[in-house]
């Protein structure tokens, strides 16, 4: 099975460790991956995460799904939690991706994760990045989430 059929689709990918990630995926061909990552194999890229065929235990399309979180099953998920806990490098990857839904989910995650009781790396830098993000063109849901973060934590 080629992963190319899932290009530009919203997917739920469960990895071999049992962690489920939800997001909009881009298909990377084997040649591209060899040039960029030194791995001669196709994959699906979800913002900063790469899923090669042997990494995928289960793959579910979320296309056409509607619910309280749009196509997604939760307000935010593992992709955003990993980024928040890892710090600015991965948060920036999400903030400057081309998918508004990912930016919004990252901001929703940060609303919870910026609580001073959490030992979040780069907390002040994250708040600065949210301020900077507010100066860019944001969709209404992302703008509202960013404004709530600044009002509450910044």
- 68 located within any domain: no
Let me know if residue 119 belongs to a domain: yes
3-state secondary structure of 51: strand
Helix (H, G, I), strand (E, B) or coil at 96: coil
Residue 25 located in a structural domain: yes
N- to C-terminal Cα distance for the chain?
47
Q: Are 130 and 154 in contact (CB under 8 A)?
A: yes
Q: Which of 61, 86, 110 is the last residue of a domain?
A: 61
Give domain status of residue 70, yes or no. no
Whether 51 and 88 share a structural domain:
no
pLDDT of 153 strictly over 90: no
Q: 115 and 147 share a domain?
A: yes
The count of domains in the chain is 2
Report, as an integer, the average pLDDT of 3-7. Answer: 96
- Residue 115, phi then psi, degrees to nearest 5: -55, 125
pLDDT value at 1 more than 80: no
The reported pLDDT for the residue numbered 120 is 80
Residues 17 and 1: their CA atoms lie apart, in Å, by 21
Residues 95 and 135 in one domain: yes
What pLDDT does residue 103 have?
97
What's the pTM? 0.93
For residue 33, the domain's CATH number is 2.30.30.100
Tell me the sheet residues that pair with 9: 25
- Whether the CA torsion 118, 119, 125, 126 is positive or negative: it is negative
pLDDT at 154 over 80: no
- Report if residue 66 sits inside a domain: no
DSSP-derived 3-state class of residue 142: helix
Please report which confidence band the pLDDT of residue 119 belongs to, taking 50, 70 and 90 as the band edges. confident
Q: What is the pLDDT of residue 23?
A: 97
Residues 115, 50, single domain; the answer is no
Domain of residue 13, residue span: 3-61
pLDDT per residue over 11-46, tens digit each? 999 999 999 999 999 999 999 999 999 999 999 999
Dump pLDDT digits (tens) for 45-60: 999 999 999 999 999 9
pLDDT at 142 over 90: yes
pLDDT tens, position by position, 64-116:
999 889 999 999 999 999 999 999 999 999 999 999 999 999 999 999 999 88
């Amino acid at each position: 099975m080629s992963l190319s059929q899932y290009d530009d689709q919203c997917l739920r990918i469960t990895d071999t460790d049992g962690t489920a990630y939800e997001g909009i995926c881009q298909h990377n061909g084997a040649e591209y991956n060899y040039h960029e990552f030194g791995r001669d194999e196709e994959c699906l890229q979800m913002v900063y995460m790469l899923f090669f065929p042997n990494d995928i235990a289960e793959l579910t399309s979320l296309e056409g799904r509607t619910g309280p979180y749009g196509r997604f099953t939760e307000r935010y998920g593992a992709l955003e939690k990993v980024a928040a806990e890892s710090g600015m490098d991965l948060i920036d990857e999400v903030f400057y991706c081309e998918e508004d839904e990912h930016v919004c989910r990252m901001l929703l995650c940060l609303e919870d994760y910026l609580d001073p009781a959490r030992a979040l790396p780069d907390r002040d830098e994250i708040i600065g990045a949210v301020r900077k993000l507010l100066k860019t063109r944001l969709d209404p849901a992302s703008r509202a989430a960013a404004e709530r973060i600044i009002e509450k934590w910044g």
